[in-house]
């Protein structure tokens, strides 16, 4: 598990299933996906330091026993969410989670991320493609005329058109990427930020050059 933790610290995402972890091993995880029998979600979110977020969530449910000092949070969460406890408390943990603020925040985060990428691809991409159409239509006639006269060749002409657009598209990507990345609240790591800029830049390249 120390090796897994070291892998996560390099910026990679690791998903794993673990059976009856100790307190120290359980505390090494950042987030938890807890399912009940049948595959229904009853908790999806951060664990917090010493499982504080997990404990806060379940102790906030009426009737759930408080965790004892030094008790394993992994064991405690399984005990308080068992089928017997659901029957005794007359609650449905899956329904409670679906109506919780934690669940609403997780769908909203996903929609924000998807919405920003959708807007980038369609709005900026189509805008770029539309803006170059009049230029291409005018220059096409010039290119055919000069090529017939032996002045232009297709490869250097196309290469020049690509190179001249690169700095402008990079500036557009940088301005848009910094603003949106900060507003959406993505994870501020160098690797993830530059991957975001990389994909944004090549998306805009595609829309601009495919015409």
At residue 56, the pLDDT reads 92
Considering the domain architecture, whether residues 40 and 15 belong to the same structural domain is answered as yes
> Which helix (H) or strand (E) segment is 32 a member of?
strand 31-35
Looking at residue 108, what is its pLDDT?
A: 65
Per-residue model confidence (pLDDT) at position 97? 87
Same domain? For 82 and 177 the reply is no
Q: Which two tokens stand for residue 59?
A: 């102790």
Tokens of 134: 């009049």
- Using the 3D structure, point to which of 59, 77, 99 is the last residue of a domain: 99
4: its two tokens: 């897994």
Residues 69 and 28 in one domain: yes
What letters, b where the CB count within 10 A reaches 16 and e where it falls short, cover 39-68?
A: eeebbebebbeebebbbebbeeeeebeebe
0.75 surpassed by pTM: no
Q: pLDDT tens digits for the chain (211 residues)?
A: 888 888 888 878 888 888 888 888 998 888 899 988 888 899 988 898 889 999 999 999 988 989 998 899 999 999 999 888 888 888 899 888 888 888 777 676 667 777 777 777 777 777 777 887 787 778 777 777 777 877 777 777 778 878 888 898 899 889 988 888 887 777 788 888 888 888 888 888 888 887 5
Q: 41 with 97: CB under 8 angstroms?
A: yes
The count of structural domains within the chain is 2
Q: How far apart are CA 44 and CA 29, in angstroms?
A: 13
Please list, in sequence order, all residues whose beta carbon lies within 8 angstroms of the beta carbon of residue 123, skipping any fewer than 6 positions away: none
Question: Which residues constitute the domain of residue 112?
Answer: 103-209
For residues 14 and 85, membership in a common domain is answered with yes
> Which of residues 52, 73, 99 is at a domain's end?
99
CB 59 within 8 A of CB 2: no
Same domain, 64 and 114: no
Contact (Cβ atoms closer than 8 angstroms) between residue 120 and residue 200: yes
Q: What is the pLDDT of residue 42?
A: 92
């Amino acid at each position: 598990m120390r090796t897994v933790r070291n892998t996560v610290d390099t910026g990679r995402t690791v998903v794993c299933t673990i059976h009856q972890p100790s307190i120290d091993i359980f505390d090494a995880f950042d987030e938890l996906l807890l399912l009940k029998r049948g595959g229904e979600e009853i908790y999806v979110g951060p664990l917090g330091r010493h499982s504080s977020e997990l404990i806060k969530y379940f102790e906030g449910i009426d009737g759930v026993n408080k965790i004892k000092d030094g008790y394993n949070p992994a064991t405690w969460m399984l005990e308080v969410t068992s089928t017997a406890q659901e029957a005794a408390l007359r609650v449905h943990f899956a329904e409670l989670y679906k109506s919780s603020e934690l669940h609403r925040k997780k769908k909203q985060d996903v929609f924000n991320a998807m919405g920003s990428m959708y807007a980038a691809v369609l709005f900026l991409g189509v805008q770029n493609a539309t803006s170059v159409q009049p230029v291409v239509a005018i220059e096409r006639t010039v290119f055919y005329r000069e090529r017939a006269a032996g002045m232009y060749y297709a490869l250097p002409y196309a290469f020049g058109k690509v190179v001249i657009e690169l700095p402008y598209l990079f500036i557009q990507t940088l301005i848009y990427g910094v603003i949106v990345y900060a507003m959406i609240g993505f994870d501020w790591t160098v690797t993830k930020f530059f991957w975001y800029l990389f994909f944004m830049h090549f998306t805009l390249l595609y829309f601009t050059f495919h015409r």
